[in-house]
Structure 1
């Protein structure tokens, strides 16, 4: 076999190392991957808990200053910091203890988590409605950036007989014409496997593009399904009453200020 440093002995030693299964490259990489997967799952589990809590209470995620040196980095990160104090394993695998490119705290990641929850809520709503009928509630207005946004809500009666109103989407529309709104509503309903044929009620405000007798959204949907009953939105009626009362009974001259 030759000396210890002979080519034969060196080849035999390398062959023995290769035959040791626990030291094989693929085994070592697989073991390392499993460890990283466990760490990531623990990190993801805590993030989901934080997102679910903030969504349930309806609180904002971000903060004004989310830098490491900030005293208040926003509710998402601050709640995450509080939870990680309860477990050494979680503490060692979240925030600054995790890789800088895998901390799950960026605004993009937070929005993705929210979208996943939204998809689950929509799926639950679709299953709750099933093949039953529902009512359509729609309103549109411009946001601070002057973009037109349309909110869509579905009203239905669940299997237990309770009336529910579920917000299913906020859609950006290029204009507020009745045809544009109808097409946007159709896209939302189609994406949620719903159709105009199941609509039995419509609720909008009194704007001409919504309840107009000629080309309003109400008429366009009635052309698709003539069983959809239109009801002027009660919230909008109340708003009109409050505005009218406020204008009628304005501040009178000589009236004393109530403290």
Structure 2
């Protein structure tokens, strides 16, 4: 048997995908789990919804990609139907579901999307995208940009603005050529948005990790809010000085802040005239920062923040210095299905014994996060001694702050279904993605099992 038919290839992929998902479902068993969902367009401009399951096995956080589904729209009702259908097909019980993550709005891509809610910031990104497309489409233009970049670095080195040496002159100077050919307005947008992304970068990186450190993540949320508020209140003058210095250096015209602002287009009827200072400071600078602050406040509202701060009390860092029994009891009350009134009374006693035990045990002194703590409890069998405390740990680990894992699925989707394979069907793409992403499970499955699954799919003339 040559097995060269495209239909045979698809059947083999389907058999492999089915066995991988069955292995994941068996691994979850009766454990509690969370679902992570996000949507993105594939190469054919079809809306695809990726599903990732997050659960804990022997103290370790595991995230498994289980499928990608084509949806006609991104309404909540459509996504709910797709998720319900997936649960029913694979025998997953919604009663074991303890967390849901959508949209991936905690990572850097989403922070840029949030900023684009401001029309003028969106225009900036469109302008930058056009420049990249124009330059990237021509080898001659790329060479011209490289020459100008080299001239800019050489000039900066001569003026002692950059240090020489290996790796010391890799500064972001390539945007100078772009800015020199544009206005004070574009320069202000660039400086301001780069500074905002710099403030939120550490938080974005922390939330993209699979094993998120909740304590540090909440600290970073607080830091970002504080720095953004400080920039809003006190950062205008320093930004204005930076932009003015840059524009003066590269001969970009600087408008007078007391003059009446002109957008350059057709004036609106009955529009109240405003000064350049009002436009740049209030309509642009303050407004964009307010958008970012609102997004952070919406994502980390009072209830969510309380939940995460309660989870932070499980941290073993600094000899369990964050331990707070009252907050951990409050955390248990967020999960009435898992902690009855009787369980809450037992938990209170278990927490007292638990903290005395682990804080005096040398095996628990070097732990860094709650994932390390959960694994150490399993290794020392303390998950059986303090089952309710371990359940709290499990619930804390299941809860995901970001959906970065789902974003990685879309990166893989663009590899599997690329420009040359843009007519790939949804089912074949799903099967290929499951095998591509979950390689470790694929490698652990016996070939005989896949062959048997393939053989039983339909009547065939030959036997494998």
TM over 0.5, shorter chain: no
Specify which structure has the higher proportion of strand: 1
Structure with more relative contact order (C-alpha pairs < 8 Å, separation 6 or more): 2
Max Rg structure: 1
TM-score with structure 2 length normalisation?
Answer: 0.25
TM-score with structure 1 length normalisation?
Answer: 0.43
